[in-house]
Each structure stands twice: as structure tokens, then as C-alpha cells.
Amino acid sequence: MATQQGGVCPFSRDKKEKGRIELQHIHSIEAALVSTNYTKIGLQGEYYPFQIGYNEYSKDYTLYILASKAEDRIDWILALRQACAINKNLKKSYHKSVWDGKKWNCCDNHYRNSLGCQTATNWDRRREPDKSRYIDKVSEEEDSVE
């Protein structure tokens, strides 16, 4: 769960609640390519992955989320971007695929903290996001991988 403020467990004064990312720490929100057989991890059907990049305690992390419908993925991405539009730490690049423990699957770079190989989407903070334009961009990217 992402949260604008707080993020501290009500039961502990000095520990962060697990499963919570403060919105101001988010630096990227993009569609992702996860090349895995979902049945291997106990999932049935088709899924639409997206990623949330964030920084915590001076270390970058990426959270991968699976939406059950393409439209749900786009709705989540656009809603989160709108909530994080004023963040000062937005990144200009990202890795479209996952780190497998040895390399980034999208570019085969072996350095975990390397700059992203893809240009991040520019969030226009002055107007509502154009959902149809985003649907076209995500569809083109997925078609180029297949």
C-alpha cells in the first residue's frame, strides 16, 4: 500500500510498517515486461505487470505488480503518477524488465545500480493524463517484444 504520509506502524515507534511505500519516495511508475510462466508461481491466466521504483534509506527498489486486466494496469499507473506528480526525485530512465540476480533482462547489464536502458514516460503535471495515448504506447512496446 502506498501512503502520502506516515508509513509508520502504529504498534512500533521506530519501525516502518511492512508493505507500505511513502508516495514521496516513488521515482518511477511504468509498465513492465516480466517474462515468466505465471503457472510456475501458482497463477492462472494472463497478467499485466507494472513497476513502481522508489528510494528508501538511499537505496533503490522496484516493486512489480500484476494487474488482471490491461485497463486496470493503465488506471493504476495513471492514478499513481497523478498522486506522485509533485515528487522531486523522478527518474528519466528505467529498466523495463526485471533484475534476475545477475543482470537486467532487458539490456543484459550486469550492474544492479546502472542507469535505466529505457526513457521514462514524461508525466505532464499541468493536465489530466490522456489514457488513450498511454494505451497506444504500452501496446506498441508489448508488440515489439513478442
d(CA 105, CA 122): 23
Using alpha carbons, select from 85, 83, 75 the residue that is nearest to residue 124.
85
Q: What does the pLDDT profile of the chain (146 residues) look like in tens digits?
A: 454 444 444 444 456 677 789 999 999 999 998 776 666 666 666 788 999 999 998 999 999 998 999 999 999 999 999 999 899 989 999 999 888 889 998 999 999 889 999 999 887 665 555 666 555 555 555 555 44
Q: Which domains does the chain have, with CATH numbers?
A: 2-91 (2.30.29.30)
Using alpha carbons, select from 62, 37, 38, 43 the residue that is nearest to residue 51.
62
- Report which secondary-structure segment, H or E, holds 65: strand 59-67
pTM of the model: 0.73
Contact indicator for 109, 30 with CB cutoff of 8 Å: no
